[in-house]
Structure 1
Amino acid sequence: MQKIIFYAGIFLLTLISKGMAQENSFEGRAKLISKRIDSIVKAEKEALKEQVYVIDKNLEDGIINKSEAMNLKQKAADESAKAIEEKVSLEQQKLEILIQDKINGLVQYDTVKKRSGTTIIIGSSSDSISDVTEINLGSFKIYNGEKEKIRRKSKRTTSQFVFAGGLNNLITEGEDFENSDFRVWGSHFYEWGLTYNTRIFQNNNLLHTKYGFSVMYNNLRPTENRYFVKNGAQTELQTGAVDFNESRIRNVYLVAPLHLEFDFTPKKTNKEGNTYFRTHESLRLGVGGYGGVRIKTKQILKYEIDDTKIKDKQKGDFNMSNYIYGLSAYIGYRQTSIYVKYDLNPVFKNNAVDQNNISLGVRFDFN
């Protein structure tokens, strides 16, 4: 478990670290020129559109006739085309200079750079942007060029690595968390697994089904130096004869979660005018549940006797329920969500008072 937490921590730190591409690189400067050209064309088209609107309004009001309107539109179109040509020509000259600087070795292409999250771009100085290889460490995916990246990320079904963690406790009838038998800040849960996300409608990105498999760890740390004791069909908390440095019981489950996910990522349009869809790039809300089986239960006790450190591991069922099922929901932005889950079945099979597990934490869906 410690190794899993260690690797998961490294994984999260890798995701959180963000780099920015160098603006003075060949790719960065070329993109800026491209954006300026797009802005020029867009601005001139909007200006022409406004002129045509005024001409049509004058024609409708009888200020000019149809022939004059056509002449004015043609003149406006010619002037707009000339303006675009002159302004774009200046940007093209800058691009030619940039390319020449590249040939002369004055500008270097970024063979390795970072984007949102941690992304490695690999390519030689002769590669075009569409030919480079992108390695996304956050999602463990490799894309060979921009076209493949768009195609794979806009598939109707995509996959995600899921990691979640946070606080864990039991809801006992007639008690609240302030009087809980378990440490509120000391009891935790962890979950990791693989999910698939399928868009329900062909041409609408709002509704998705999210399903897969996860391994879930629910840890409970009793208060007041107590530990769990199996007493026949009952499982009770008893005070230890020694002072525990650690008293913890852990249940491990294999579960199959199923959620209806609302993804508010807007549709996108490529350069050819084709519409495609992405996921995990905006607000997301998931509601659903899970069901599974208990894999194992282990109680860990740590204490000292005569300066000798002792670690006692006790494996058994502790009268725990063999199956688990419950409700869960999450809400968040992009890959990060607030996550809550509640077991509908009691933790212990035969205890006099039912106790149900509840968890609250943070969830990451690495798309």
Structure 2
Amino acid sequence: MRNFTIYLVVLLCFFASKMLGQETFEKRAKTIASKIETITKEEKAALKIEVEAVNNQLINGTITREEAESKKKLLAEARAINIESRVAVEQEALKNLVQEKVDGKIRTVDTLKIDRRRSLKIYLNHKKSKNDTIEKFKSERRTTSQFVFAAGLNNVVTNCSVEKSDFRYLGSHFYELGVTYNTRILEKSNLLHAKYGLSVMYNNLRTTDNRNFVVNGNQTNLEVNALQQEDSRFKNVNLVFPAHLEFDFTKTKDRDGKTYYKTHDSFRFGVGGFVGVNLKSKQYINYDSDSYKSREITKGDFNTSNFIYGLSTYIGYKETSLYLKYDLNPLFKDNTVKQNNVSLGLRFDFN
């Protein structure tokens, strides 16, 4: 509210000075001079009409030449008196204007220009000071926060490999939404940061060869569907707490004898991991038979691991990074063949 008031006062001063520019000494003097010139032109034009009327009377023989010259002289004297009396009013106004200028009651164009420049300078200096204060506050804080969004490809590692996967490579994907805190570890160094927060991860797997997951006791197997599927997708939603050691190569800035520590302004990489819980598991099966489309949604345990933990790393420039994460827990906790979720994509850390 205080900043708004300052802006308002400065802007009012600026526009008020601009409006007052219409009442400067130069403009008022010019107006008076214009009025005097108009008076002279009006009286001369009126005299010309009157003289032409006298000339017409002379041509028509209604008056003699001596009478015509006498009338013209009288008309000229009358118009001269009019000009003198009307101009005297404007001369008095000009005299008062000069006295106001001498008394300092009216400003010139130059002083108004200076006032406008001064008002604008105050506004710009205040804005610069505010921006510098914000930047200084952000740079001096040991801990900052970021909004995290990540998305990319998702699959499973079977027998230490993702080759010949039972899931589509491009159709299977992941995305992550979260908030992280970034704390500078060393007081006088910008290199090491502790990065930690809370995220929701969505891991999707799309099966191949018209298969879907079927639960058989404590085993969750892929089996061929008796009906023709248009699509089959298995989704896990996890709530996790990620933590990374981040190396940020953003250079510090020295200004006015002080050092400012900025983040996410250069190359950086992080190594760490995550722990969390599985919130829900769902399987979606889409059918398209005889021009009728339908979807089957199954929500349940599916024997998935309830406790989620894994490793993750990222490397990038500024807010954009290449992101890799690997679940150390198996996708299905009791399956004979252990499969672990793996994801590769892009990560964005927005300050």
TM-score (norm 2): 0.64
**Is residue 359 of structure 1 aligned with residue 327 of structure 2?**
no
**Is residue 203 of structure 1 aligned with residue 188 of structure 2?**
yes
Any idea what SS the aligned residue of 1:179 has?
Answer: coil
Give me the whole-angstrom Cα distance separating, in 2, the residues matched to 1:299 and 1:132: 55
Aligned to 1:256: 241
What percent of counterpart residues are identical? 55
Taking structure 1 as reference, are residues 100 and 228 closer, same or farther at Cα in structure 2, changes over 3 Å only? farther
Taking structure 1 as reference, are residues 315 and 205 closer, same or farther at Cα in structure 2, changes over 3 Å only? same
**Is residue 285 of structure 1 aligned with residue 265 of structure 2?**
no
- CA deviation map 1:305-334 (0-9, x unaligned): 332110111100100000110111000011
Q: Which one-letter code corresponds to 1:244 in the other structure?
A: Q
**Is residue 218 of structure 1 aligned with residue 203 of structure 2?**
yes
Any idea what SS the aligned residue of 1:349 has?
Answer: coil
Give me the whole-angstrom Cα distance separating, in 1, the residues matched to 2:136 and 2:185: 19
Runs of at least 5 residues in structure 1 that lack an aligned partner in the other structure: 1-96, 105-123, 134-143
**1:130 Cα shift?**
4.2
Taking structure 1 as reference, are residues 132 and 248 closer, same or farther at Cα in structure 2, changes over 3 Å only? farther
Any idea what SS the aligned residue of 1:205 has?
Answer: coil
Give me the whole-angstrom Cα distance separating, in 2, the residues matched to 1:163 and 1:130: 35
Q: Which residues of 2 match residues 1-367 of structure 1 at below 5 A?
A: 103=116, 127-128=123-124, 130-131=126-127, 145-173=131-159, 176-270=161-255, 272-367=256-351
Give me the whole-angstrom Cα distance separating, in 2, the residues matched to 1:130 and 1:192: 37
**1:153 Cα shift?**
3.9
**1:178 Cα shift?**
3.5
Taking structure 1 as reference, are residues 287 and 102 closer, same or farther at Cα in structure 2, changes over 3 Å only? farther
Aligned positions, number: 239
Taking structure 1 as reference, are residues 217 and 129 closer, same or farther at Cα in structure 2, changes over 3 Å only? farther
**1:177 Cα shift?**
3.0
Q: Which one-letter code corresponds to 1:241 in the other structure?
A: A
Any idea what SS the aligned residue of 1:201 has?
Answer: coil
Any idea what SS the aligned residue of 2:135 has?
Answer: helix
8 Å CA contact 1:129–1:145 kept in 2: the answer is: no
Taking structure 1 as reference, are residues 366 and 244 closer, same or farther at Cα in structure 2, changes over 3 Å only? same
Give me the whole-angstrom Cα distance separating, in 2, the residues matched to 1:281 and 1:262: 12
**1:304 Cα shift?**
1.8
Give me the whole-angstrom Cα distance separating, in 2, the residues matched to 1:189 and 1:212: 19
Any idea what SS the aligned residue of 1:145 has?
Answer: helix
Q: Which one-letter code corresponds to 1:211 in the other structure?
A: Y
Give me the whole-angstrom Cα distance separating, in 2, the residues matched to 1:222 and 1:100: 74
Any idea what SS the aligned residue of 1:217 has?
Answer: strand
8 Å CA contact 2:138–2:262 kept in 1: the answer is: no
Give me the whole-angstrom Cα distance separating, in 1, the residues matched to 2:223 and 2:115: 75
Taking structure 1 as reference, are residues 101 and 165 closer, same or farther at Cα in structure 2, changes over 3 Å only? farther
Q: Which one-letter code corresponds to 1:223 in the other structure?
A: T
Any idea what SS the aligned residue of 1:177 has?
Answer: coil
Q: Which one-letter code corresponds to 2:184 in the other structure?
A: R
**1:198 Cα shift?**
0.3
Taking structure 1 as reference, are residues 302 and 269 closer, same or farther at Cα in structure 2, changes over 3 Å only? same
Give me the whole-angstrom Cα distance separating, in 2, the residues matched to 1:212 and 1:101: 53
TM-score (norm 1): 0.61
Any idea what SS the aligned residue of 1:127 has?
Answer: helix
**1:276 Cα shift?**
1.2
Give me the whole-angstrom Cα distance separating, in 2, the residues matched to 1:252 and 1:286: 24
8 Å CA contact 2:139–2:260 kept in 1: the answer is: no
Greater radius of gyration (CA): 2
Runs of at least 5 residues in structure 2 that lack an aligned partner in the other structure: 1-109
Any idea what SS the aligned residue of 2:251 has?
Answer: coil
* Coordinate RMSD, CA, aligned: 2.4
- CA deviation map 1:235-264 (0-9, x unaligned): 011112222222100000000001000001
8 Å CA contact 2:194–2:243 kept in 1: the answer is: yes
Any idea what SS the aligned residue of 1:147 has?
Answer: helix
8 Å CA contact 2:284–2:295 kept in 1: the answer is: yes
Give me the whole-angstrom Cα distance separating, in 2, the residues matched to 1:329 and 1:267: 24
Give me the whole-angstrom Cα distance separating, in 2, the residues matched to 1:100 and 1:329: 59
- CA deviation map 1:194-224 (0-9, x unaligned): 0000000111010010000000000000111
Any idea what SS the aligned residue of 1:363 has?
Answer: strand
Give me the whole-angstrom Cα distance separating, in 2, the residues matched to 1:301 and 1:126: 66
- CA deviation map 1:39-92 (0-9, x unaligned): xxxxxxxxxxxxxxxxxxxxxxxxxxxxxxxxxxxxxxxxxxxxxxxxxxxxxx
